[in-house]
Amino acid sequence: MPIATPAQYRAMLDAAQKGGYAYPAINVTSITTINGALRAFSESKSDGIIQVSTGGGKFASGTSVGNEAFGAIVLAEAAHRLAEKYDVLIALHTDHCHPSAVDSFLKPLLQASRERIAEGKGPLFQSHMFDGSVVPLEENLAISKVLLKECAELDIILEVEAGCVGGEEDGHDTSGLPAEKLYTTPEDMVDVYEALSPLGRFLFAATFGNVHGAYKPGAVKLKPTILRDGQKAVTDKYGAAAEMDLVFHGGSGSDLDDIRETLGYGVVKMNIDTDTQYAFTRPIVAHLCQNIEGVLKIDGEVGDKKLYDPRSYLKKAEIGLANRLKVACDDLLSTGKTIYGTV
């Protein structure tokens, strides 16, 4: 079954770290976007990560329900079934859970995994993100330690963040923060390692000027060397084995040189959402514009059912998303490197 087991997920991360590549982690909101992601990873022969945000879960639950955890469970269960048809490994992850959403989002998902494990299955998600960057680092790490301990008991990896990713995405808005908040310090990196490494495996979203959203070239000033310096501070103190698995948030629209540079500093996962949202929506817009008289019932006409059937444009959207995600696999050097069948 291509949804990775906990052991396979760890092997994926180990392979990326050793091989100098990273996995695209794409946010999904529907069956169609899951299918687009699975198609892309399969055609690229790349393992990958599919993730759900609080907003994505709320959307997927339906406008009359609006329950973020319930929607995330629905998407995850669907992904487990859909991924059975593909020959790459897929890990399921959740994105940007702030402290205020731990009880309403993260805890119900951990409980869902606990129930699956009791039934002899694996956890529903292989990793979760706790975004404590909105609180002081000491408080962030105190909460992270409690959550990591609970995750470790379920064989789940926890992703944490110190420093803030700028911009706005899916309700996560830090656009008003001062510039210095966008950069994690070496001291922060050491603090994170010392607090969490005894408790279980974790992913660390260190920030180096990365920003959510879409920007013109040159607008975002990334400093990947921050990751290098932070990793060095940790390994100088605790040895080479202490190198952390890092996450690149705000990957959409980044320069390829910056993306590739981060791979040498321990990035094994890069989030992509804005670019794949656009790649999904652009074919829909083209379909509607090119077929407006068939899509709309103009001047008393009946339109063309084949053109306003949602399947006619959502198939194009799925392919558009898949094609953009395949570019991300190429950018992150994960293309052709699936470990499916070897672990």
Task: From the candidates 47, 95, 188, 331, give the one annotated as an active-site residue.
Answer: 95
- Say which DSSP state 174 is in: -
Q: Which residues contact 103 (CB under 8 A, 6 or more apart)?
A: none
Coil, strand or helix at 82:
helix
DSSP states of 81-99: HHGGGSSS-EEEEEEEE-G
N-terminal to C-terminal alpha carbon distance within the chain:
12
Helix (H) / strand (E) containing 242? none
- Pairing, β 202-206 against β 172-173: unpaired
Structure tokens at 285: 């817009």
CA 187 to CA 230: how far, in whole Å?
Answer: 7
- Which amino acid makes up residue 95? D
SS3 303: coil
95 is catalytic: yes
Active site residues per annotation: 95
